[in-house]
């Protein structure tokens, strides 16, 4: 490569400065916005704001956007985690609301009879689903 060609090549930045101060949020889809509003707002007690495009959930300083999607397919992974101090109490609360816990018996992920995974490497966690089938969790803070 000649010196002239090297000089014409733009210098690539190594680090972006745009995202460090950006207020980010996550989002996921549901097939029924009204059911999602009732579930997240009335059952889980989150602050839910309806917008033209969907729902804004607010919990502490976090915002999650939920949007309707006619051909929605539930996520096969956890889309939203709720840190709790006492997972047993959180599960009792979910059960009292009629929310069933997921149970797994996989080689790397097993839950007990209550739906809690307590692994030596991972957190103490339990999973449940929203009305659209998206996977959520309560995760005990250590």
Query: Residue with structure tokens 């839950």?
Result: 111
Count of CA atoms in the C-beta half-sphere (13 A) of 15: 2
SS3 per-residue string spanning 13-27? CCCCCCCCCCCCCEE
Structural domain includes residue 71: yes
Q: How many CB atoms sit inside 10 A of residue 46's CB?
A: 17
Strands (E), the chain: 26-30, 47-50, 55-59, 62-68, 78-84, 105-106, 109-110, 116-118, 124-129, 135-140
Structural domain includes residue 96: yes
Digit-coded pLDDT (tens) for 73-112: 999 999 999 999 999 999 999 999 999 999 999 988 899 9
Q: What is the largest CA-CA distance in the chain?
A: 73
Q: Read off the CATH number of the domain in which 77 is found.
A: 3.10.180.10
Question: What distance in Å separates the CA atoms of residue 104 and residue 68, rounded to the nearest whole number?
Answer: 28
Number of structural domains (the chain) is 1
Structural domain includes residue 136: yes
Structural domain includes residue 5: no
Structural domain includes residue 10: no
Q: How much is the average pLDDT of 25-48?
A: 95
Structural domain includes residue 104: yes
Please report which confidence band the pLDDT of residue 23 belongs to, taking 50, 70 and 90 as the band edges: confident
Lowest mean pLDDT among 13-17, 61-65, 122-126: 13-17
Structural domain includes residue 113: yes
Q: What is the residue range of 41's domain?
A: 24-140
Structural domain includes residue 18: no
Please report which confidence band the pLDDT of residue 121 belongs to, taking 50, 70 and 90 as the band edges: confident
């Amino acid at each position: 490569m000649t010196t002239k060609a090297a000089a014409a090549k733009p210098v690539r930045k190594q680090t972006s400065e745009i995202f460090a101060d950006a207020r980010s949020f996550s989002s996921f889809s549901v097939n029924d916005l009204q059911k999602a509003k009732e579930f997240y707002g009335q059952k889980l007690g989150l602050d839910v704001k309806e917008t033209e495009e969907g729902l804004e959930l607010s919990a502490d300083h976090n915002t999650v956007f939920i949007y309707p999607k006619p051909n929605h397919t539930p996520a096969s992974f956890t889309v939203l985690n709720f840190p709790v101090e006492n997972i047993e109490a959180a599960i009792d609360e979910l059960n009292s609301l009629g929310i069933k816990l997921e149970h797994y018996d996989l080689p790397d992920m097993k839950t007990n009879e209550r739906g809690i995974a307590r692994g030596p490497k991972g957190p103490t966690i339990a999973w449940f689903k929203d009305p659209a089938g998206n996977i959520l969790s309560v995760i005990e803070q250590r």
